[in-house]
Each structure stands twice: as structure tokens, then as C-alpha cells.
Structure 1
Amino acid sequence: MTVVAVGLLTVVLVGAVTRPRNLPEATAAVPAAVIVLVTGLLAPQQAWDEVRELGPTVGFLAAVLVLAHLADAEGVFRWAGGLLAHHAAGSTQRLFALVVLAATATTAVLSLDATVVLLTPVVLDTARRLGARPAPHAFACAHLANSGSLLLPVANLTNLLALRASGLTFLGFAGLMALPQLAVLAVEYLGLRLTFRGDLATPAARPAEIEEEAPAPRVALAVLAATLLGFAAASPLGIEPVWVAVVGAAALATRTLLTRRTRVRDVVASASPLFCLFVLALGVVVAAVTDRGLGAVVAGLLPTGTSFGALLGLALIAAVLANLVNNLPATLVLLAALGPTPAVGAVLAVLIGVNVGPNLTPVGSLATLLWRRVLAVRGVPASLGTFTVAGLPTVPLGVVAGTAALWLSLAVTG
């Protein structure tokens, strides 16, 4: 039965990676979850427990995707593109630095999906308008969508899972991950500059050739800021982030719909219900694989304790597993292997591995797969080889630097 469970997970992941005939990811995942139940690989109560556990996380995903869509309809990303073009001031290197910062901020506040789907096209258009080569800026969006998601719990589904496992508050999580995020960000910036030094040597257009900045969408920015503050305020009260995201999305939707900047059906579609269904079905399949022996195997490989060596071992194993089975299944398996009351440091070390590791191969995260589709539509090449070459100077060093920074944060805070 273990072979059957692993085979079902393989089918689900291959379907998500290849998406034959552009079918949604749920096309393979939902039947696989049904087979898990029918064959008795997982008891119905166990499957329900898994869905109930993932429910708030998936609900948050839907709400934040809607919030990102509404922000885009209000012109937040067009405004951001204008800022990038204006403040680049004719320097390709300055534009690259600004893109790194913009991608990190977008990922932290609106999640990595917003960076991939909404910011990347704006960055590509801005680079072309300036006459800059698009590759370094496009790859910066991909890398920071993954490794730029360490700071806040709302930046990534993996973070929300880790937050629940660790028992930390929103601000407690951010406090411990601030230094690791800065360390990884420095590695990403230097590594990508080195990889794309030839492209970044091409001068951009003069500032005089760039259009004026668009006015700031103040209402949308205010709602996003209030939502972010809401996450921090609600966490100590035990209120799930999903409810804060729903309130923020509802507040912005009221204005956006009334001003006809978007339509109800577009708002519903932006929640990606089929992708949310895919995540729930994937959780059921991963639970079956874990229950059928993979969890015990992984648990036997994990180092114990919170020394630097143990934390680094956890992060490296997590990075490898993310590139083998994708980072979301890897997170589910690893958190289960850590047990019901894992050490905070162990959980966060795993998170560094599953968030930074996917920058080594395009199959490491679903966001990277989506990013490649965005580039294909825009006619920008993103070969598998180039992606791995860009990850070689950043992923190993990023994992080590991030883990060292986490170890230092834990030592300082006790």
C-alpha cells in the first residue's frame, strides 16, 4: 500500500507540474484523494481531520488572492511600475535593486502568488520600456517570491503551516525571522547580480524618456496597510489570519465593485477555487503517504536539538525534499515528522529550507511553475538550465546564511 500511496502522490505532482492541455491542478489531485479513501489508505476521519487542519490556511490563500486582485484593479501594481521606472533614473543596476525590494515587499504583504502573477508582468513591462534586458529582473521576482517569503506568516502557505506548528504569534514569528530574511536577501541580491552581471551592464533609458509617475492609489494602500496591522493585532487574540484577510478583501471589494474597476465574476475567479481544492486534495494524499511509512523514514533522518548543526541539517533536508516533491508536500511531511510539539527553532529551520530551496529547480514550488507560465506568455525565455544556474550561487549560501541568522536570533531571544 505504501507503493500505491507514493504512486498517487507522484501522479498528483506530475499533473501539477505539466498541466496537460492546461487542465487545473485539481484534475489529478481530487481523483487521487478519492482513491486514497476508497482503498483505505487513509480513514475518512483522518482525511477530514487533514482537511479541517488545512481549512484556515486554504481560506487565507483564497482571501489574499482576492485582495491582490483588487489591489491590482485599483492600480497598485501599475503605480509600483511607475515608481520603479522613475527611481531607476537610467540605471539598470538601480532598477534591479528596486525590483528586489519591490518583490520582497509584495511577497511579504500579499504573498508570493501576487509577486509571481501581478508584479512580474509589471516588472517585465518596466524593463522593456527602459530598454533593459528582462532576465535579471524576471529572475529576481521568481527568487524573491520564494526566499523573500520568510519574514511574515502571511507570505506563503508554508509559513502559515509553520506558524500553527510553532505556536508563535504573528509578531513573534516576524521577530525571529527578520534576521534570517535579511541574510537571505543579501545572498539573493549578490548572487543574482553575479549571475546576470552581463545583462545588468546594459544601460537603461534616460529619465527624460520615462513617463511621469502615476498618482498613488491611496485608498487601496490604506486598506493593505490596515490589513497588515490587523494580522499583527489579531494573532495574540487567537484570531486566524483568514478572517483579517477576508475583512480587508471585503472592504476593498466594496469600493472596487462600486467604481466598476472589476466585476463580481472576476473577484470570484481570482480566489482560484480549483487551486484551493487542489491544496486540500494534496493534503489528503500527503497524509496517506506520511501515514504509510514516509513520515517514519523522514523522522529517522532528522537531527534533534537546536544547535547550529542540527538546525542546518533540518534546513538542508527540507531544501532537498522540496526539490524532490515540491515545497508544500515537503512542509506537510516534515512538520508531521517533527511531532506534535516541535521546537520552534526546528520548525523555522525547516521553513528556511522549504522556502529558499525551491530556487534551485523549477519544480521546487508551485509559484515557480506559475512564474514560468507568466514568462512564456510574455515571450521571455526561462530555461531549466538557466534557473538552476541562477540558483547555484544563492540556494546553498542562502540556506546556510539564513540558518546561521536563525540560530543567532534564537540565542539572543532565548
Structure 2
Amino acid sequence: MNTPLLEALSAVLLVAVLAGAVLRPFGLPEAAVAVPAALVVLATGALPLDQARAEAARLGPVVGFLAAVLVLARLCDDEGLFRWCGALMARGAPAGGHGGARRLLGAVFVLASLITAVLSLDATVVLLTPVVFATAARLGVRPKPHVYACTHLANTASLLLPVSNLTNLLAFSASGLGFTRFAALMALPWLLAVGAEYVVLRRFFAAELVAPVAPASTGETPEPPLFALATVGCTLAGFVLASALGAAPAWAAAAGAAVLAVRALARRRISPAGLLGAAALPFLAFVLALGVVVRAVVDGGLGELLGRLVPDGTGPGELFAVAALAAVLANVINNLPAVLVLLPLTADAGPGAVLAMLLGVNIGPNLTYAGSLATLLWRRIAHRHAHDVGLAEFTRLGALTVPAALAVAVPALWLSLLVIGG
């Protein structure tokens, strides 16, 4: 095949991979389409084998971290961490009426933001969302505003730490920043973006927040899971230490997961097969395969095309341009491929451009279902709880929150870069 045909083949395969991840035909995992597509890319020469190896080596530490943090989050759930979080949310909100609904929304915002930042967005989507459904029923409030908050915060609240999102991990290694400097630069954008989300969601769901329903039985308040809390705290400190020592954050995540795994295995709460299942091996294969396919598309001409659109500077206008481009691309091809495409183009401009790109790919996916894999997963969880998620409503809300969050986060990033330095 000639080069134009190979470029077209790579683009078609990327579309097929993303469609497979969105639609999951016959309930197949995302890897069922992605892995064969990556093999076709290699077999046809659309991506040379040595470049595929280099891409896999670049993604390896990120995939290792993802596996460790998924296991860590699952074991924290087994320890009762998320049930305890639900009890905390319910404790400060009276049952029934708009007062309880509004207080619950505030509690969801606080806990979802913290859980997303520390345990990654997958923990918020997979583990906290069912707890929010149960807590809303317990208090007798409509679940919709609080459940929507989970998916929005899984994206927007993942700005804070390098470990909060797979996109952050990819960008962190290319930014040249340490763990604490990354967090310091993103703290103000994170805080203001989450605040903008709260203001918009509270106004958008004003009618839902004043409509009581019959509360369910309250049940017993669980004891604080002290061992899990201590392990998560030590793991977070390990992230900082690993960064200072130049080690990958995957080691700290693996240590935290190992501590909880030994305890769970000793108490027979989980089996070795259960630990493997918690690591989501098919999804890890999907991430690697997606990276190979995206690399073929980028090398085939997409990178050169987008390179003309990425500005060189890091002034307010340039940062807005990068964030907007990243947000649009995330909704066109999903945020993970968008990072893989844009990262080489923004890294040369310095950490400011890399962080602006993260604002776009983390906030932008709230506009469409296909913007992030976390949103797709959240939609399936909502359907399992018999909760209707309308496309029109989701898009209308995203059309309000995404511009509002970017409008405050980008200037905040520019100010942070000015004060702290990149």
C-alpha cells in the first residue's frame, strides 16, 4: 500500500476503535476492537515496529499506575470507604425538601472532588456514583443533580494532581514538573473550575433540588474505615516522595494496593482472581492498543496538521487557544487520544501549554458522551439504576458548564504560572 492508503487506513481504524469503546457491541470489552486494530496497523506497516515499541514503553508506566490505582480503589470500597462517604454526605443533609437536596449537592461536590483527585476519576464514576444513588434515596431527594455532579466532577475535578487522571499521567512525564509544583499550578484552576460547575449545576437543576420524594430507611452509620484512610493518606504521601526521588508514581500506587491486598487476602475478602479482575486487564490492553493506533494517525499527518493550530506562546490568548483546541478534539476523538495527539505539539512550548491542554481535555469531555471513557462508563451505571440520561439534557448542561469552567480555569492557570513559575 502507498502512504495515502496507510494514512486513510489508520484513520478508519481509529474511528473503529472509538466506536467500539462507545458502543461495545455484544457487550464486548473495549479491547475487542482496539487490539485487532493495533495488530492491523503493525501488519500493514502503517506504524513501524520500533515506533510501536517506543510508544508501548512510553505508556507502560502509565498503564502500570492505572492498574494499581484501580485495585487500590476496589479494595478501599471493600473496606467500606465509599459507604462511609455516603454516611458523611447524609449526616449533614436533612431528609426531604430542598434544604436536604442542596446540602447533599454540596457534600457530593466536596467528596467527589477529593476522591477524583486522590483515587482518580474511575473511583468517582464506578464506586461513588452508586453510593450517591443510595444516599439520595435515603434522604428522599431526587438523584439527578447529584448523579450528574459525579460525572462532571470525574472530569473537571481531575485537574489537581498528576495521579487524578490517565491524561494527567501522560502529560506529567512530558511537562518536566515535579508532583508538588504540578499540584500548585493546578490548584487555583481546579478550585475555580469546580466552583463554576457547582454554580451552573445548582441553577440548571433548581427545580430538581426543591422537589422532595419519600425517603428510604436510614440504616446504620458505618464506622470510619481507619485502615483504608491511613493507607490512602500514606499512598498520597508516597506520590510526593516518588516524585522527589525521580521514581514513577506507579510504585507508590502499587505499594498502597499491596498493603490493602495483603489484608484483604488474609481476611479472605478477595481472591487472587478477584485482584486480577479489579486491575481491569482488558481495559489496560485497550489503552496500549489505542496508543499504537493513535501514533499511526499522528505520524500519518494529523500531527502536522494540528501543529499549525497550536500557538507557541503561553500568554492568556495562547493558553485559551490551546485549551479550546484540546476541548474540541477531546469531543471529536475522545480525551485520551486527544492527549496522545496534542502532547508532542504542546511539550515544546513548555509546561504552561501542556497544562492548558489538560484543562481542555479534562473539562471539555463534559460536553458529549464520547468525550471521555469515564462518561461512557457513568452512563452505563446510571442506566443500571433505572435513571434516564437524556442526550439533549446532557449536552445542554455541558454547553453551559464547559465554557464557564474554561473561562475561569485558563486565567487562573496563567496567573499561577506568573506567580509560581512553570
Secondary structure in 2 matching 1:265: helix
Assess if the C-alpha contact under 8 Å between 2:137 and 2:215 holds in 1.
no
Match of 2:39 in 1: 34
CA spacing shift, 1:293–1:201, aligned 2, 3 Å = same
CA-CA distance at 1:95 after TM superposition: 0.3
Q: Secondary structure of the equivalent of 1:392?
A: helix
Asked whether the 8 Å contact 2:142–2:212 carries over to 1, the reply is: no
Matches within 5 A, 1:127-166: 127-166=136-175
State whether residues 92 and 204 of structure 1, in contact with CA within 8 Å, keep that contact through their aligned partners in structure 2. no
For 1:46, the equivalent position in structure 2 comes to 51
The percent identity for this pair of structures is: 54
CA distance in 1, matches of 2:211, 2:84: 25
Q: Does 1:388 align with 2:399?
A: no
Residue 5 of structure 1 aligns to a residue whose secondary structure is helix
| Equivalent residues of 1:26, 1:274 under 8 A apart | yes
Which residue, 72, 77, 81 being the options, matches 2:82?
77
Distance 1:400 1:41 in 2: 39
Separation in structure 1 between the aligned mates of residue 325 and residue 292 of structure 2, nearest angstrom: 23
Q: Partners in 2 of 1:259 and 1:280 — Cα distance?
A: 34
Q: Pick from 358, 362, 369: which aligns with 1:362?
A: 369
Q: Hey, what does 1:379 align to over in structure 2?
A: 386
1:220 and 1:413 map into 2 onto residues whose CA distance is: 34
Q: Please give the residue correspondences for 1:12-411 in structure 2 after superposition, counting only pairs within 5 Å.
A: 12-90=17-95, 91-203=100-212, 210-339=218-347, 341-411=348-418
SS at match of 1:260: coil
Distance across 2 between alignment mates of 1:223 and 1:155 = 17
Equivalent pair of 2:140/2:215 in contact (CA under 8 Å): no
Distance (Å, rounded) in 1 between the aligned partners of 2:419 and 2:94: 40
Measured on the aligned residues, the alpha-carbon RMSD in Å equals 1.3
3-state SS of 1:197 partner = coil
Change (3 A) 1:204 1:241: farther
CA separation in 2, counterparts of 1:110 and 1:88? 25
Q: Does the 8 Å CA contact 1:56/1:242 hold for their aligned counterparts?
A: yes
Give a deviation string over 1:65-95, Cα, whole Å, max 9, x none. Answer: 0000000001101111111111113311000
User: Could you tell me whether the CA contact under 8 Å between 1:85 and 1:210 is conserved in 2?
Assistant: no
Local SS of the residue matching 1:149? helix
Shift of 1:212: 4.2
CA contact (8 A) 1:13 1:325 kept: yes
- The 4+ residue runs of structure 1 with deviation greater than 6 A are 204-207
Alpha-carbon distance in 1 for matches of 2:376, 2:177: 30
> In structure 2, what is the Cα distance between the partners aligned to 1:248 and 1:60?
11
Structure 1: tracts of 5 or more residues without a match: none
- Distance in structure 2 (CA, Å) of the matches to 1:23 and 1:212: 38
SS at match of 1:231: helix
Secondary structure in 1 matching 2:207: helix
Letter in 1 for 2:225: P
In structure 2, runs of 5+ residues without a counterpart are: 1-5
Whether the 8 Å CA contact 2:63–2:287 is kept in 1: the answer is yes
> Contact between 1:315 and 1:352, CA under 8 Å: does it hold in 2?
yes
CA apart distance, 1:32 = 0.7
Displacement of 1:210? 3.2
TM-score by length of 2: 0.96
Measured after TM superposition, the shift of residue 146 of structure 1 is 0.3
Give, in whole Å, the separation in 2 of the partners of 1:238 and 1:177.
Answer: 20
Contact conserved, 2:162 with 2:179, CA < 8 A, in 1?
yes
- For 1:50 and 1:195, the matched residues in 2 are separated by 42
Distance in structure 2 (CA, Å) of the matches to 1:352 and 1:306: 14
Tell me the secondary structure at the aligned position of residue 301 of structure 1: coil
Shift of 1:338: 2.6
Letter in 1 for 2:126: V
Displacement of 1:239:
0.8
2:5 aligned with 1:5, yes or no? Answer: no
> For the residues of structure 1 that align with 2:264 and 2:61, how far apart are their CA atoms?
25
Number of residues of Structure 1 aligned to a counterpart in Structure 2: 412
